[in-house]
Amino acid sequence: MPLKILTALLVCARIILCTADSYGAAIETRYSSIIYDNEQQLLQFNRELVIGSAFSFLFGGNKGVTVADDIKNKVDMVVEKVENILEMYPVALKFSIVLLASEHGVERVYMAKYQRQASYVAFYAPGEKTIYISARDAELQVIGHEIAHVVIHNYLRIAPSAKIHEVLAQYVATHLGE
């Protein structure tokens, strides 16, 4: 076997093994499983995901006892807010969120899955019902945008074009703080 082919196969195998479901732990919410490698990612995700006054009526001072409780509350509130903005309520909605250390981790996973480069801090993989997101970049608008993709994908029987999907997700991100 030529050296170039062998090298390419080894590189591909390493990417797949490094990005396969080798994550450490998970938190279960009503709508999602949040998968992470370490506590640092969880703390970073919680710090970045700031819930403003637009959510105060949903949050109702319901601050969790632990970081995991805070994250569960925040993610479920964002899902419900996204559903309200879109007026789309998928039945039995369940998806995963994989926290990655940085946008470079997101880019590596995207490359491994789609064999294309992209400069994303997050993306939704519809075939897996999974959001991949950089814990450093998990701002409300970013996670809301990706959850909008989840809701749209799980609500509509026939998927709209990628452009329509993106317009709706951007609409949600714009109106999330209201």
The pLDDT tens digits for 111-158 are 999 999 999 999 999 999 999 999 999 999 999 999 999 999 999 999
Cβ atoms within 10 Å of 131's Cβ, excluding its own? 24
pLDDT band at 55 (very low <50, low <70, confident <90, very high): low
Our CA angle for 70, 144, 115, nearest 5°, is 110
User: 155-170 burial string, b = 16+ CB within 10 Å, else e?
Assistant: eeeeeeeeeebeebbe
d(CA 85, CA 102): 29
pLDDT in the model for residue 144: 97
Considering only residues 12 and 79, tell me which one the structure prediction assigns the higher pLDDT.
79
pLDDT band at 21 (very low <50, low <70, confident <90, very high): very low
The percent of residues above 90 in pLDDT, for the chain, comes to: 74
What 3-state class would DSSP assign to 53? helix
Question: pTM for the whole thing?
Answer: 0.82
Structure tokens at 130: 């999974």
The percent of residues above 70 in pLDDT, for the chain, comes to: 80
Contacts (Cβ under 8 Å, ≥6 apart) of 176: 54, 78, 81, 82, 85, 140, 141, 144
Taking each helix axis from N to C end, the angle separating 140-155 and 67-86, rounded to the nearest 10 degrees, works out to 60
Question: Amino acid letter at 85?
Answer: I
For the chain, first and last CA: distance in Å?
60
Residue 58 pLDDT > 70, yes or no? no
d(CA 131, CA 36): 12
pLDDT in the model for residue 15: 43
Report domain extents, the chain: 24-175
Mean pLDDT of the 56-74 span: 73
Considering only 40-49, 57-66, 161-170, which range has the smallest mean pLDDT?
57-66
The CATH class given to the 24-175 domain equals alpha beta
Residue 10 pLDDT > 50, yes or no? no
d(CA 135, CA 44): 6
